[in-house]
């Protein structure tokens, strides 16, 4: 028995608010339930009969067990109706009325009261504000939307937060010839939410694929867990509305570069879902995946065979945009194609036959049999006499085939139906076929990452220094003056001497930053212990954390005044950078709190004078730091998302990070392999691969650093945010030039 059996598999149904008026939802519910083989009981306070069925004044008066009650009454009558259900022992109820939590505080209070009643009576509650659901195989149409009885049963489950989107997808699936296992709109989801339905479907043998349409996410971690369980058996294709929403839930670059859509997209993909951008893509991907999933593969190779060259170009373009690999064929398949095709045709992949002919099936078999190819996309117009798609494609190859075609609509519909019986998904345009094929590849990549996760986690436990080969001393190659200072021992908050003051002998220098990295799985000491004060930390303290996590930082000295800064200049390797250090100073370049390229005492004095003129930072300290080698810059950060909890962010860094808006996101913690893959998602990824003589990033070292930060932030609920920006790529490895920590 599933947790939602009373809701989704009822034996008897009551319609509370059943109405003789055809304009009322309570009337349409009865009409929709007409095919249901079990008892359907109208509940009306006065009528003895509604829509040809005997009516009852209350659920308790029915006198028979009722599993599911559909409440089609206004908000003011809901509490009494639900209490009646509770007294009658009803197992589940759907509330169709709107005007509750989505309408304001008064409605939210009523919804909370309804939920209390439901939970105390162990009633599973669908809605409020739901149009209902349908299970065509059971002939159960618990919805007031007309016309649903025509929707055929099949393997596709539709789970949507919006009742309107739910029914739109169900009718669209009907038009596409895809049968529906379940279509449910959750509405406000006061009780039954997306993860509950996904868990129910995980054990349902009749479900072959799930499409998921989300507007918001309440509990991202629970959603991810449910999708992971489900995708182990069937594919999940997800659409998240709200691409325009970019909420800045932190003041740093990292916070501004995340947002509910971006984080949800990352979480869905990380959980194993294929994430798409439209309802059409939802159904197209589902059609392809229902015909068969690829074996787990990190970068599956796609073959293209066309009967006309132009559509082949469109296919290749669309697949390129989707990041799908279209590998060149090896020598053996090319030799066979040379025997089959005219020399003027292109035979390396894409393969253009010029026009379908007697050899078309053999061409498909040859390309599909190449060791580089995991799936095929085939395009050909319907040309009776030249091509019989069913005969030429069915059984031609063992790899999945996606077909696109064009021709008279009736012929296309017939071919689509017949090829579906052969396990081949058919589409009416090359672009749709390409995106559906891309879904196959993405699903295989998600499965591969899931399979590799345990091995990657084991690799992530190795010390970062061993993984990267980084030196065990600061980049300045100067021995530390004293042991590295943990973050908990940060300088006191008492104001320092004015920066412009010339003091006598310099105070003792603090330790250079950049001490050897502790192993990631067993750091020597937590640099942010329980005694740390809440709020933002200054750069020096934040860099101590970064160093403890294994990233190199420049050799530098924190100074209280001008004299200490001169002493630091004498000890460090020039040129140096001079920065103000203050917990409230987040972006130094915007405040003029940074001076670079200082090589002489005179230049240092000028820089100190300039920084001392910043009016509201007179109690700041100075950080004298060696200049790092040149190289491209990344941003590495971690923040807490309201729905998904801790996340890690990798992006193009530097002062233009927000303007570039080029980031990849993962839910923390993340394994090294998954973390390393984030770099490839950046539009600017090419810049970090040795572009025009610049240093190339060590991708594994970067993945190890991301994974280390992700594990740490996942275990520290007292930390709201960590940001390293810029994280410079140098010939010596990654160097953290600035850092921010915000403790809660």
Confidence at 654, pLDDT banded by 50, 70, 90: confident
pLDDT, tens digit (0-9, with 9 covering 90-100), for 222-254: 999 999 999 999 999 999 998 765 444 333 444
Cα end-to-end span (Å), the chain: 44
Going by CATH, does the domain composed of 633-743 fall within 3.30.450.40?
no
Between the alpha carbon of residue 271 and those of residues 228, 245, 319, 448, 615, the distances in Å are 5, 22, 23, 12, 49
Contact 110, 83 (CB under 8 A): no
pLDDT, tens digit (0-9, with 9 covering 90-100), for 65-95: 999 999 999 999 999 999 999 999 999 999 9
Question: d(Cα 631, Cα 727) in Å, to the nearest integer?
Answer: 10
Confidence at 452, pLDDT banded by 50, 70, 90: confident
Q: Which residues pair with 298 in a beta bridge?
A: none
Residue 645: predicted pLDDT: 95
Residue 526: predicted pLDDT: 55
Question: d(Cα 668, Cα 32) in Å, to the nearest integer?
Answer: 45
Q: CA Rg, the chain, in Å?
A: 32
Between the alpha carbon of residue 42 and those of residues 79, 646, 716, 722, the distances in Å are 18, 49, 54, 58
Neighbours of 730 (CB within 10 A): 17
Neighbours of 659 (CB within 10 A): 9
Residue 89: predicted pLDDT: 97
Closest to 426 in 3D by CA, of 290, 257, 320, 264: 290
The percentage of residues in the chain with a pLDDT greater than 70, rounded to a whole number, is 87
Confidence at 474, pLDDT banded by 50, 70, 90: very low
Question: d(Cα 272, Cα 231) in Å, to the nearest integer?
Answer: 6
Residue 604: predicted pLDDT: 96
Q: At what angle do helices 163-176 and 279-291 cross, to 10 degrees?
A: 50
Confidence at 602, pLDDT banded by 50, 70, 90: very high
Question: d(Cα 210, Cα 234) in Å, to the nearest integer?
Answer: 7
Q: Which residues pair with 684 in a beta bridge?
A: none
Residue 658: predicted pLDDT: 79
Cβ-based neighbours of 489, under 8 Å, separated by 6 or more: none
Cβ-based neighbours of 366, under 8 Å, separated by 6 or more: 333, 336, 337, 340
Question: d(Cα 456, Cα 501) in Å, to the nearest integer?
Answer: 54
Question: d(Cα 79, Cα 87) in Å, to the nearest integer?
Answer: 12
Contact 670, 656 (CB under 8 A): no
Residue 620: predicted pLDDT: 86
Average pLDDT over residues 452-476: 48
pLDDT of 616 > 80? The answer is no
Cβ-based neighbours of 455, under 8 Å, separated by 6 or more: none
Question: d(Cα 720, Cα 641) in Å, to the nearest integer?
Answer: 9
Average pLDDT over residues 370-390: 93
The total number of residues written for the chain in this structure:
744
Neighbours of 684 (CB within 10 A): 15
Confidence at 455, pLDDT banded by 50, 70, 90: low
DSSP H helices in 353-406: 360-369, 389-393
pLDDT of 466 > 50? The answer is no
Question: d(Cα 376, Cα 426) in Å, to the nearest integer?
Answer: 12
Q: Do 5-207 and 295-452 have matching folds? A: yes
CATH placement of domain 295-452: 3.40.50.261
Residue 457: predicted pLDDT: 57
Please state whether the peptide bond connecting residue 491 to the residue before it is cis, i.e. omega within 30 degrees of 0: no
Question: d(Cα 84, Cα 97) in Å, to the nearest integer?
Answer: 17
Closest to 145 in 3D by CA, of 133, 154, 135: 133
As a 3-state breakdown, the chain gives helix, strand, coil percent values, each rounded to 5, of: 40, 20, 40
Residue 454: predicted pLDDT: 61
pLDDT of 469 > 70? The answer is no
**Pair of tokens at residue 611:** 């920084």
Residue 487: predicted pLDDT: 28
Average pLDDT over residues 637-666: 91
The per-residue b/e assignment along 516-553, b for 16 or more CB within 10 angstroms, e otherwise, is bbbebeeeeebbbeeebeeebbbbbbbbbbbbbbbbbb
Residue 744: predicted pLDDT: 86
pLDDT of 721 > 50? The answer is yes
Question: d(Cα 684, Cα 707) in Å, to the nearest integer?
Answer: 21
Query: What rounded mean pLDDT belongs to the chain?
Result: 87
CATH placement of domain 487-626: 3.30.1490.20
Question: d(Cα 302, Cα 308) in Å, to the nearest integer?
Answer: 18
The percentage of residues in the chain with a pLDDT greater than 90, rounded to a whole number, is 75
Residue with tokens 């209070």: 109
DSSP 504: S
**Pair of tokens at residue 160:** 């949507």
Domain ranges, ordered by start, for the chain:
5-207, 295-452, 487-626, 633-743
Contact 538, 582 (CB under 8 A): yes
Residue 378: predicted pLDDT: 97
What is the pTM assigned to this prediction? 0.87
Question: d(Cα 688, Cα 695) in Å, to the nearest integer?
Answer: 7
Helix (H, G, I), strand (E, B) or coil at 711: helix
Least confident of 307-321, 379-393, 451-465: 451-465
Average pLDDT over residues 496-520: 33
Instruction: Give the β-pairing of 576-581 and 621-626.
Output: antiparallel
Contact 695, 632 (CB under 8 A): yes
Q: At what angle do helices 430-460 and 309-321 cross, to 10 degrees?
A: 30
Pick among 3.40.50.720, 3.30.2350.10, 1.20.1730.10, 3.60.15.10: CATH of 5-207: 3.40.50.720
Average pLDDT over residues 698-727: 94
pLDDT, tens digit (0-9, with 9 covering 90-100), for 334-360: 999 999 999 988 999 999 998 888 999
Helix (H, G, I), strand (E, B) or coil at 200: helix
Handedness of CA 676, 242, 212, 92 (dihedral sign): positive
Element (H, E) at 351: strand 351-352
Average pLDDT over residues 252-279: 81
Closest to 735 in 3D by CA, of 662, 653, 629: 629
Residue 155: predicted pLDDT: 98
Q: Which residues pair with 738 in a beta bridge?
A: none
Least confident of 70-84, 237-251, 363-377, 421-435: 237-251
Confidence at 529, pLDDT banded by 50, 70, 90: low
Confidence at 659, pLDDT banded by 50, 70, 90: confident
pLDDT, tens digit (0-9, with 9 covering 90-100), for 316-332: 999 999 999 999 999 99
Contact 461, 522 (CB under 8 A): no
Please state whether the peptide bond connecting residue 726 to the residue before it is cis, i.e. omega within 30 degrees of 0: yes
Question: d(Cα 500, Cα 580) in Å, to the nearest integer?
Answer: 13
Average pLDDT over residues 173-188: 96
Measured in whole angstroms, the distance separating CA 740 from the mean position of its chain's CA atoms is 25
Element (H, E) at 535: strand 535-537
Q: How many CA atoms lie within 13 A of 101 on its CB side?
A: 15
């Amino acid at each position: 028995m599933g947790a939602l059996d009373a809701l989704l598999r009822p034996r008897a149904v009551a319609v509370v608010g059943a109405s003789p008026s055809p304009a009322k939802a309570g009337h349409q519910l009865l009409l929709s339930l007409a095919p249901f083989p079990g008892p359907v009981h109208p509940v009306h306070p006065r009528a003895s009969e509604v829509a040809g069925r005997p009516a009852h004044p209350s659920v308790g008066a029915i006198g028979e067990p009722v599993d599911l009650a559909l409440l089609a009454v206004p908000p003011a009558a809901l509490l009494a109706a639900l209490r009646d259900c509770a007294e009658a022992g009803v197992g589940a109820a759907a509330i169709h009325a709107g005007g509750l939590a989505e309408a304001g505080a008064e409605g939210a209070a009523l919804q909370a009261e309804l939920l209390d009643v439901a939970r105390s009576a162990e009633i599973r509650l669908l809605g409020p504000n739901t149009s209902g659901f349908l299970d065509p195989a059971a002939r159960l149409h618990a919805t007031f939307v007309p016309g649903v009885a025509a929707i055929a049963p099949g393997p596709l489950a539709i789970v949507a937060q919006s009742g309107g989107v739910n029914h739109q997808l169900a009718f669209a699936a009907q038009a596409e010839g895809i049968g529906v296992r379940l279509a449910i709109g959750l509405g406000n989801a006061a009780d039954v939410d997306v993860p509950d339905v996904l868990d129910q479907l995980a054990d349902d043998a009749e479900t072959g694929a799930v499409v998921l349409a989300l507007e918001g996410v309440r509990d991202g971690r629970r959603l991810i867990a449910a999708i992971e369980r489900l995708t182990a058996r069937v594919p999940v294709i997800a659409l998240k509305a709200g691409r325009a929403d970019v909420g800045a839930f932190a003041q740093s670059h990292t916070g501004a570069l995340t947002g509910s859509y971006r984080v949800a997209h990352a979480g869905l993909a990380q959980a194993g879902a294929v994430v798409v951008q439209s309802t059409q893509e939802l159904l197209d991907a589902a059609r392809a995946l229902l015909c068969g999933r690829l074996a787990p593969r990190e970068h599956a190779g796609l073959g293209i065979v066309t009967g006309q060259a132009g559509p082949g170009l469109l296919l290749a373009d669309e697949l390129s945009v989707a990041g799908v690999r279209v590998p060149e064929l090896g020598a053996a398949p090319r030799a066979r194609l040379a025997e089959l095709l005219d020399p003027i045709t292109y035979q390396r992949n894409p393969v253009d036959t010029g026009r379908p002919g007697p050899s078309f099936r053999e061409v498909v078999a040859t390309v599909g049999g190449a060791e580089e190819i995991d799936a095929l996309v085939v395009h050909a117009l319907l040309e009776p006499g030249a091509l019989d798609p069913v005969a030429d494609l069915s059984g031609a190859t063992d790899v999945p085939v996606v077909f696109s075609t064009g021709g008279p609509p009736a012929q296309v519909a017939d071919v689509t139906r017949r090829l579906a019986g052969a396990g081949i998904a058919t589409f009416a345009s090359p672009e749709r076929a390409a995106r559906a094929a891309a879904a196959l590849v993405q699903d295989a990549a998600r499965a591969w990452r899931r399979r590799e996760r345990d091995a990657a986690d084991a690799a992530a436990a190795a010390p970062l220094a061993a993984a990267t080969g980084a030196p065990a001393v600061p980049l300045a190659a100067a021995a530390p003056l004293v042991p590295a200072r943990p973050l908990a021992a940060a300088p006191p908050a008492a104001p320092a001497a004015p920066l412009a003051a010339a003091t006598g002998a310099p105070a003792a220098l603090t330790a250079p930053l950049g001490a050897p990295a502790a192993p990631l799985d067993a750091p020597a000491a937590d640099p942010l212990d329980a005694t740390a004060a809440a709020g933002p930390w200054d750069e020096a303290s934040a860099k101590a954390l970064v160093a403890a996590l294994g990233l190199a930082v420049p050799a530098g000295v924190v100074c209280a005044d001008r004299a200490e800064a001169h002493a630091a200049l004498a000890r460090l390797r020039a040129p140096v950078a001079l920065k103000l250090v203050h917990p409230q100073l987040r972006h130094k370049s915007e405040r003029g709190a940074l001076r670079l390229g200082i090589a002489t005492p005179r230049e240092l004095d000028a820089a100190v004078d300039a920084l001392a003129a910043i009016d509201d930072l007179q109690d700041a300290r100075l950080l004298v730091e060696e200049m790092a080698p040149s190289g491209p810059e990344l941003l590495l950060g971690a923040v807490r998302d309201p729905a998904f909890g801790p996340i890690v962010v990798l992006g193009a860094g530097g002062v233009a990070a927000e303007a570039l808006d080029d980031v990849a996101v993962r839910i923390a913690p993340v394994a090294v392999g998954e973390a390393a893959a984030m770099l490839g998602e950046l539009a600017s990824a090419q810049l970090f691969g040795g572009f025009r003589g610049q240093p190339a990033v060590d991708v594994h070292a970067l993945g190890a650093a991301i994974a280390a930060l992700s594990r740490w932030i996942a275990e520290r609920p007292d930390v709201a945010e960590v940001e390293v920006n810029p994280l410079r790529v140098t010939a010596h490895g990654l160097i953290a030039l600035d850092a921010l920590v915000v403790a809660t």
